[in-house]
Amino acid sequence: MLRTRVIPCLLLKDESLVKTVKFKNYSYIGDPINTVRIFNELEVDELVFLDIVASRENRPPNFRILEQIANECFMPLAYGGGLCNIDDVGRIFAIGFEKVIVNSQAVADPAFISRLADRFGSQSIVGSVDARKNLWGRYEVFTHGGTRKSGKTAVEWAVELERMGAGELLITSMDREGTWAGYDVNLTEGVAAAVKIPVIANGGAGSVAHLGEVVKRGNASAVAVGSMVVFQGKDLGVLVNFPDKRDLKEALL
């Protein structure tokens, strides 16, 4: 049995699923409810849903579509996007999600993570770090769907999120996201070496070999996959799928 979780990471825009490349250039994927049904049949470990415009639009989560997703889904769920207050987070848990993913509000109000951890437990709070390498080779952290610089670097911010009570980290390479070129192993490795909590690598997966590389070389505790599980292949059409478990076992163990 695999010890490394392989987690489809699905992007919500309004009430549709989309896929981006480097946080831009939306491609329509389909209806989230139908997609959940397919992943139920494929028996995936868990699902992540990220509303990629909620923070930019300064609006709360779309609870109606999230409730439909939770009612249909058989596996553990995590949600991120537009979470700015404890009441909304509590509502996400009441709907049936097991974890929340927090990015922009954590930067705006770092104590928010501590309040959530105190209220709901660190195991249910995932700190999200969206990072891009700058001209000097440092990984800068961005918020609001990759549109605002935070002034922080990835490793220092990851350490701070852990200190504040996050139980897990989702580390996304903005440079690799949607490219099929493989994870940024150096980014993942740098964060994993600095914290003791699980690190989920995200952004760039294009093959099962990429998953194995970021786990073995980057010390990721789990891997998030996007393009790989919603397209037939690079530059090909939409096809919701999941890697063969024998191939995953060979790559990850």
205 residue type, one letter = A
Q: Give the position of tokens 């911010």.
A: 157
Q: Is 88 a catalytic residue?
A: no
Instruction: Give dist(CA 191, CA 158) in Å, integer.
Output: 7
Number of separate helices (H) and strands (E) present in the chain: 10, 12
DSSP 58: T
Which pair of structure tokens corresponds to residue 43?
């028996």
Q: Give the position of tokens 């919500």.
A: 12
| CB burial readout 19-52, b (16+ within 10 A) else e | bbebbeeeeebeebeebbebbeeeebebbbbbbb
The residue from 130, 175, 184, 244 that is catalytic is 130
249 residue type, one letter = K
Q: Report phi then psi at 91, rounded to 5.
A: -65, -35
- Catalytic positions are 130
